Structure 1
Amino acid sequence: MNDTLASAPHQAGGTPLEPTEILRRNYSLASLRSIIAAWDERKRFRWELEQMSKDNPHLIDDIGLTRRQVETEIAKPFWRR
């Protein structure tokens, strides 16, 4: 038997799992917490950036961003980098 097939995880029916299925099943609680923390940080950062652009637009220039870059960043959903 082929070594690759012999070592591949299988479903209950005996068929090999797809790589994406294997990745989905290997998430631990710690990695899920890490993902959620990253999402929360992105959401908070984008909210703060939006507030800064409204309240103190001159600070946006000071950090070297354009208005378009700020708008693009603010528009991203929290799960996107």
Structure 2
Amino acid sequence: MNIETHRKSIIHRILDVQNEVVLDKIDQLLNEEGYIYDVTGKLLSVSDYKQEIEAILKVSEENDVYNSEAIRNKIFKK
């Protein structure tokens, strides 16, 4: 079973759950796994999110970033 089929199967099963305790357990499991949306709306796991933050901090520490004026000049091609 591929990931998409597996995901849909789980979704359909969850939609049929009537037991609040079971839903709470599913919610807790998903919260523990931890997912975050990035600025583009892409869903990231907490570990992926931390890797992105670490990469951004590394670039920032290396001063390989643009300030507002540089971005404005780049946009308007000054």
TM bracket (short chain)? 0.3 to 0.5
Using CA pairs under 8 Å that are at least 6 residues apart, name the structure with larger relative contact order, 1 or 2.
1
Give 1 or 2: higher strand fraction: 2
Which is higher, the Rg of structure 1 or of structure 2?
A: 1
